[in-house]
Amino acid sequence: MSHLEEVSAQVDAAIEAGVITGMNELLVILSDDAALSREERFEQQQRLRTAISHHGRHHREEQEARHEQLTQGGTIL
């Protein structure tokens, strides 16, 4: 397995786990990975950034839906 394949598998696993701290740590590790070309590094980091962004948007939507549910009728139940 090539280094790029290993990194790609790590990125896949981090995205699948859905843990933001793990994805952020991997972003930092990739920044210092001299074995990858600039383009390869950017591609993997962009996958992580996109997953982090989607996770944040999904979390915000869940929070808004929960708040709306709790405040039905104008008061918190």
Tell me the whole-structure pTM to 2 decimals: 0.71
What's the CA gap between 54 and 59, in Å, rounded? 8
Q: Which one has a higher pLDDT value, 73 or 16? A: 16
Q: Structure tokens of 36?
A: 């990858």
Please give the residue that has the higher pLDDT: either 60 or 42: 42
Domain count, the chain: 1
The proportion of the chain whose per-residue pLDDT surpasses 70, expressed as a percent, equals: 91
pLDDT band at 76 (very low <50, low <70, confident <90, very high): low
* Helices assigned H by DSSP within 3-37: 3-17, 20-31
Cα–Cα distance for residue pair 32/10, rounded to 1 Å: 15
Is pLDDT of 77 > 60?
Answer: no
Range of the domain at 25: 3-74
Q: Where does residue 73 fall: left (phi above 0), alpha (psi -120 to 50 degrees), or beta otherwise?
A: left
Residues 26-53: tens digit of each pLDDT: 999 999 999 999 999 999 999 999 999 8
